Structure 1
Amino acid sequence: MPQPYLPSRFGVFLAPCHRPDRDPALQLRRDLDLVVELDRLGYEEVWAGEHHSAGYEIIASPELFLAAAAERTSRIMLGTGVNSLPYHHAVPGRPRAWRGRATAGPAGRCGRRGSGAATVAPANPDAGTPTGEVTFFDGAVPLATVPLRDGRATARTGVLQPTTGHPVTARYGGDPAFTPATTPEPTGITVGFTEPCLTSAHTGPLTVAPGEARCIAAGGSQTGPVTVRP
């Protein structure tokens, strides 16, 4: 029985490990440059570890590192892997992580799940059914590469950020009998938040359920524990 095709998704965990005889400032700069390159290549996520090992692993505050990375990236998901709770007081630790996500912009928010489909048809109906792969793009950023099945490709992604006008295109790579092609015009996809944005002070617990996307707009604030359920 044929198995369903699941496109591979890639992410990176950064301890990171460095030689203790090198300049730590340059090493951190290299780590940030790596996150920028991963974002450009279409990686879905990057996780930064918290370590206090004096030289080899020099990110003692992953929230600060990821905040700097968020200013330099546009779509890759950023996460702490993990916060070492025995080194911290629990009360300021959780709001600090939430503030990092709330102020990071698109790269710090949870992406929305979505899917898209593309059909590849020959100009000559008697030429047969094209084979090969189709790559979907959000602007210049690749979202997924999936094989054609009976001339149709369906892609699923979980990284679309709430905004207007994602310019999604599909690019057919061709096969021995058919030449490559790209959709002539992008399709604009709007991804919205599932709930109205907070525009005033909110005090108390805040839970983001699976599949939800929440925002804090101008004038809004959150005081209290925030739970993001996977």
Structure 2
Amino acid sequence: MSSHPLSSALDAGLQALHLTLPPQAPTQLLAYLDLISRWNKVYNLTAIRDPREMLSQHLLDCLALVGPLDAAAGQRPADAAPWRLLDVGSGAGLPGVVLAICRPTWSVTCVDTVAKKAGFIRQVGAELGLANLNATHQRVEAMTEPPFELITSRAFASLVDFVTLSRARLAPGGQWVAMKAKLQDAEQAEVPADVVIQRVQPLQVPGLAAERCLVWLVPR
């Protein structure tokens, strides 16, 4: 990883987040960043073009999710199987690809309605050897895959749309985790009555002076 121009910045971010990753993960994360940059020249995967800005606004932003998910995983029964995770509206694979890289035992499926974005995620999985990463091009409400214990989203939609559209894919005892800049009162008020916001967890993203939070939700 040391030869990459952003390796030091990534390493500093990982230390600030107190994250321990598999040995190959930092190299894979930077390779993923390079793939986004390369594909961005042809496809509009993200409006951010500068790799250093991508590192802070995309990569480190998603890496800030790993610690809270680790903590939640630690509360599961000791004999529970590794998480099956669905990332809705994954776009360029944020946070789904990041989670698949950081936690190889988790099975991560990314769903997006844009074919080129699902194709990009498949290419990432093939080039980086991510056997635990899957991508599907369809609407989440049309999916027929078995339910998932955890469903994530990052800037996908309002909370009401997020939980309503993906509800059929949530396993019994499962939970939703939405990444938000800030949870507005109006958006919170629209959450269906049969869904509970368990907590709103503030996030600190290294190098990013902006509000971030995780919204944890479960069915009643």
Query: Whose helix fraction is larger, Structure 1's or Structure 2's?
Result: 2
More strand as a share of residues: 1
Task: Give the TM-score taking structure 1 as reference length.
Answer: 0.27
TM-score scaled by structure 2? Answer: 0.28
Instruction: Select the structure of larger CA radius of gyration.
Output: 1
